[in-house]
Amino acid sequence: MKKYNCIVLDADEDSLRITGEYIQNTPFFSLTGSYSSVFEAMAGLLNQKVDLMFCETEMPGFSGIEFVANIVERPKVIFITGSRQFALEAFDLNVVDYLIKPIQPERFMSAAQKALIQLNHKEKKDSDSQPGEPGYIFVTSNYALIRVNLSQVTHIEGLKDYVKIYTADQQSPILTRMTMKSIEEKLPSDTFFRAHKSFIVSISKIDVIRNQRIQIGNHLIPISDSNYDIFKQRINA
């Protein structure tokens, strides 16, 4: 299992130790630095690759929130705070989560799982964006190979051993013999999401999300209960 590098910034020695122990006991995290000052943490960020930072909001002489806001190449961040007031400010920075002291193990794992989803997505997105990735696929329809430009695909509907590919530039969907799993593997994961066992959507084509349904043009697409939390993480990543 891949481990993501984590650092902790907290002036409270007990909190620093406890958070570090939680990280060390998390199988997909590796603790690479524990810092009690902003200046130490800045050096740590400059000298190593950091995937996730746990940061106290109230540091002596320097707000943890201000510190994070001024990081140019910012890792994913989980704030640690003793006040819900600071937690609300933290979300303005689009952080992964916040933890209220004293940190409970189950609450830490919930935040860790959110971070894992976002980190895995970022890694896959970086991989998918490497040069040479084609912006199209070929599918068989009506005994012919048809090129489908992925930028035009709005969503895909599964029908047993067939799929319907809906595109913005054609009135009728393209019907091809293929399973949802097969076509999902051909699509870049940073722009497409399996919202339901029978539907894949292009995230950039979504018009409205309401009542656990996605609207794309005149089409309403359900989001399964099992995928809803993951979907919310994806669109906020």
Could you read off the pLDDT of 85-94 as tens digits, one per residue?
765 666 667 8
Which amino acid is located at 20 in the chain? G
Do 46 and 93 belong to one domain? yes
The domain in which residue 220 lies consists of 136-236
Q: Give me the numbers of helices (H) and strands (E) for the chain, helices first please.
A: 7, 17
Helices (H), 131-189: 180-186
Read off the pLDDT band of 23 (50, 70, 90).
Answer: very high
Q: Which residues pair with 126 in a beta bridge?
A: none
Structure tokens belonging to residue 27: 């199988």
Q: Final residue of a domain: which of 103, 128, 153?
A: 128
pLDDT of 131 strictly over 80: no
Percent of the chain at pLDDT > 70 equals: 92
Do 117 and 192 belong to one domain? no
Read off the pLDDT band of 134 (50, 70, 90).
Answer: low
CA dist., res. 155 & res. 216, Å (int): 8
Do 95 and 201 belong to one domain? no
Do 76 and 154 belong to one domain? no
pLDDT of 48 strictly over 60: yes
pLDDT of 41 strictly over 90: yes
CA dist list (Å): 127 to 115, 131, 204: 18, 9, 19
Q: Decide if 29 contacts 54 (C-beta within 8 A).
A: no
pLDDT at residue 92, as a whole number: 67
The residue to which tokens 């140019």 are assigned:
72
Closest CA to 4 of 104, 98, 120, 121: 120
Q: Are strands 4-9 and 52-56 parallel, antiparallel or unpaired?
A: parallel
pLDDT tens-digit readout, 204-222 = 999 999 999 999 999 999 9
SS3 126: helix
CA dist., res. 13 & res. 95, Å (int): 23
CA dist list (Å): 119 to 116, 180, 194, 204: 5, 25, 18, 20
The residue to which tokens 């409205």 are assigned:
208
In CATH, what number is assigned to the domain containing residue 30? 3.40.50.2300
Do 142 and 98 belong to one domain? no
Q: Is the dihedral of CA 228, 234, 236, 237 positive or negative?
A: positive
CA dist., res. 214 & res. 217, Å (int): 10
